[in-house]
Each structure stands twice: as C-alpha cells, then as structure tokens.
Amino acid sequence: MLDLGAGSGRDAAALAALGHLVTAVEPTAALREHGERLHQGAGIRWVDDALPALPALVAEGARFELITVIAVWMHLAPAERAVAMRTVAELLAPGGTLLLTLRHGPVPARRRMFTVRAEEVVDQAQAAGLRLVHRGERGDLHGRDDVRWSELGFGKES
C-alpha cells in the first residue's frame, strides 16, 4: 500500500499495524524524518519523492493495491493535477483502490494551497481510467467551522 504525502505517517502506521506492506512518500525532509523516528520498527518504507511525477517511485515499477492521498491534493497547483492523477492511476494495481480527501476552506497564510473542487478530481480520475466508487462530504474533524472535506474513492478495473 502507498500513502502519498504521508506527513509524519499517521495513516501509514495505521495500515502497517493492520499487517499491510506500506510505502510512505513524503517530500518534506523534516516530516519524513519525524515520521521515521516516530514509527521506528513499524516496517514502513519511507521514500523522498513528490507529485506530480513521482520519478523515484515510478522508476521502481511497483504497483499498489491501495493508494491513499489524504489532505494533499489542494497543495498541488491546478496545472499539476491532471499529470498527478495520471501518475497515481499508473501506480495503482489492477483491481486497486485510490482514496483521496480534499480540504475546502480559507487558505492559511504562508501555505502553498489552492482551491480544489471534487468534480475536477472526479473528471481527472475518470480521464485516467478510474471509476468513482465513493463520494462523501464532511465537516472538519478539528472543529473548524469554515473548513469542509470531500472524500473520494476510485477503483481500477482488474
């Protein structure tokens, strides 16, 4: 399984604890190193790579049964997203599942973050050959009134 933009590895560690083989991709060295320390012994493989092209991971030729992209897509510039979706779809194994969450709300000061619409991501995923299997909306788990989240799930044909 692949956690893209893993941060300090909360989700990667949860998946590893369930017994899955997990690769965590995180481009920010401080977060990656923190995650490696925090989850030492969890068996997570950490990779320094970044969307949209993920050159290191793509060069390995591996395919993943589950790819999670949690709270990451809004950090990609609009022009990067179609390429990023094609890269992710390529990394997904036949029969695999892609899960994304998208943050909607005000952009915090000094953060590289952009507006992203769920419809745009659905269109790009379908153009990359994926099928929508889940779409949900929810409030913010941290209780911020002006922040909402979309949850999207896609499948790749076997």
Contacts to ligand SAM by CB under 6 A? 4-7, 10, 26-28, 31, 50-51, 70-72, 75-76
Which of 35, 94 has the CB closer to ligand SAM?
35
For residues 63, 131, 115 and 137, what is the CA-based torsion angle, rounded to 10 degrees? -110
Task: Please identify, using beta-carbon distances, which residue of 29 and 157 lies nearer to ligand SAM.
Answer: 29
- When the beta carbons of 112 and 157 are compared against ligand SAM, the nearer one is 112
Question: Closest separation between CB of residue 26 and ligand SAM, Å?
Answer: 5
Residue 24 in 3-state DSSP? strand
Residues 6+ apart with CB under 8 A from 101: 69, 70, 71, 149, 150, 151, 152
**Look-up: residue for tokens 């990394």?**
91
For residue 23, the minimal CB distance to ligand SAM (Å) is: 13
